[in-house]
Amino acid sequence: MDWGAIFGNAAVELISPTTAAYALAALGLAVHFGYTGLLNFGQAGFMALGAYGYAISILTFGFPVWGAFLVGVGASVVFALILGIPTLRLRADYLAIVTIAAAEIVRLLFTTNTFASVTGSANGLSGYKNEFAALNPLADGTYGFGPFTNNAYDTWLRIVAWSIVIIAALLVWQIMRSPWGRVIKGIREDEDAVRALGKNVYAYKMQSLIFGGVLGTIAGMIFALPRAVVPSNYQTTLTFFIYAILLLGGAATVLGPIIGSMIFWVLLSFFSGFIARAVEAGWLPFMTGIQGGQLSFILVGAAIMAIVIFRPQGIFGNKKELAFVR
């Protein structure tokens, strides 16, 4: 058993762009769910809009990177408005139902053959990376050390991805300790009380939905850069993984989503590496390689359950807060 490779591959995930993407999407959900109390079950839809908005803008319209970025962000603002206008005046559960359905609609629109020339249908899109690579100021060669050694493009991608995560985390941290954040947290506690104090609750909920959604959309772009854009990546399970990360780290925290994402990906990589090799070595004779892949998700689920049971407020959550949750 090659433990070195198992641990090495797990360590790679610590700073991989995918980990950054999940961290950013979870940060968006922290804004929605942890701070505002909005049940957005359509974060995968926001991510899909980012990935497709970016890829289509470059492939079909030949936009520069910043133009493609703005298209993705614009699409998610429109998406948030469409979701929010009819539901944010209603009880919280309506938003949950509408977002879960809308995210599926988005995914199916990208999957359908009708728009295959633009969306690539079920095969998705690829070949949109050159524009981003062209911005790379790093000379060719390898950078980093140990398991974190990468070529120039991958290093550039990691720098950009994690810079965005850090900037977003600072933004969320600053805005949540401002009077705006106070209103937002008040809405989570009791929106009628906040309304009675003269705050336009509807507008605040909309702003929160847009803010968290845009973070999800940018996460979708980061997610798309190391791979192809494939519609099946944006299923509801993606949203649930991001919720798992959020609850793991602490719902109303800034560091929680980031560290939660790192733990999630490191664990997933560790378990799948371990099981794949265990199957190879004949330790699990009743299993095929595919079943092994599924087992690693089960093990990650069990590990997350254990953490949530022993630390229900999440890793960074405040125990005192939880004492009052009935």
Partner 1 sequence: MSANAVPLDSAAPLEPPVPTKKPVKTTGLHIGAAEPGCAKVDPILVVDNVRRTFGGLTAVDVAHVEVPRGAITALIGPNGAGKTTLFNLLTGFDKPDDGKWTFDGRSLAGVPAYRVARMGQIRTFQLTKALGLLTVMDNMLLGAKGQTGENMFRALMPFLWRNEEEENRAKALDLLTRFKLDTKKDDYAASLSGGQRKLLEMARALMSDPTLVMLDEPMAGVNPALTQSLLDHILNLKAQGMSVLFVEHDMHMVRHIADWVIVMAEGKVVAEGDPHEVMQNPAVIDAYLGSHHDEDIGEDPAAETEHVSAIKELLDDER
Q: Which residues would be at the binding site for partner 1 (CB under 8 A)?
A: 171, 174-175, 178-183, 185-186, 188-190, 192-201, 207, 211, 320-321, 324
Q: Alpha-carbon distance 22 to 16, whole Å? A: 10
Residue among 58 and 246 whose Cβ is closer to partner 1: 246
Residue among 91 and 320 whose Cβ is closer to partner 1: 320
Minimum distance from residue 128 beta carbon to partner 1 (Å): 31
To which residue do tokens 């070529």 refer?
A: 151
Q: Alpha-carbon distance 42 to 46, whole Å? A: 7
Minimum distance from residue 148 beta carbon to partner 1 (Å): 33
Q: Alpha-carbon distance 253 to 247, whole Å? A: 10
Tell me the residue type at 148.
F
Minimum distance from residue 195 beta carbon to partner 1 (Å): 5
Contact 38, 89 (CB under 8 A): no
* Phi (first) and psi of residue 63, to 5 degrees: -70, 155
Q: Alpha-carbon distance 69 to 71, whole Å? A: 5
Minimum distance from residue 182 beta carbon to partner 1 (Å): 6
Residue among 98 and 172 whose Cβ is closer to partner 1: 172
Q: Alpha-carbon distance 248 to 245, whole Å? A: 5
Residue among 15 and 194 whose Cβ is closer to partner 1: 194
Residue among 159 and 175 whose Cβ is closer to partner 1: 175
Q: Alpha-carbon distance 253 to 231, whole Å? A: 30
* Phi (first) and psi of residue 289, to 5 degrees: -60, -40
Residue among 157 and 194 whose Cβ is closer to partner 1: 194
Full DSSP string of 157-174: HHHHHHHHHHHHHHHHHH
Minimum distance from residue 199 beta carbon to partner 1 (Å): 6
Minimum distance from residue 325 beta carbon to partner 1 (Å): 8
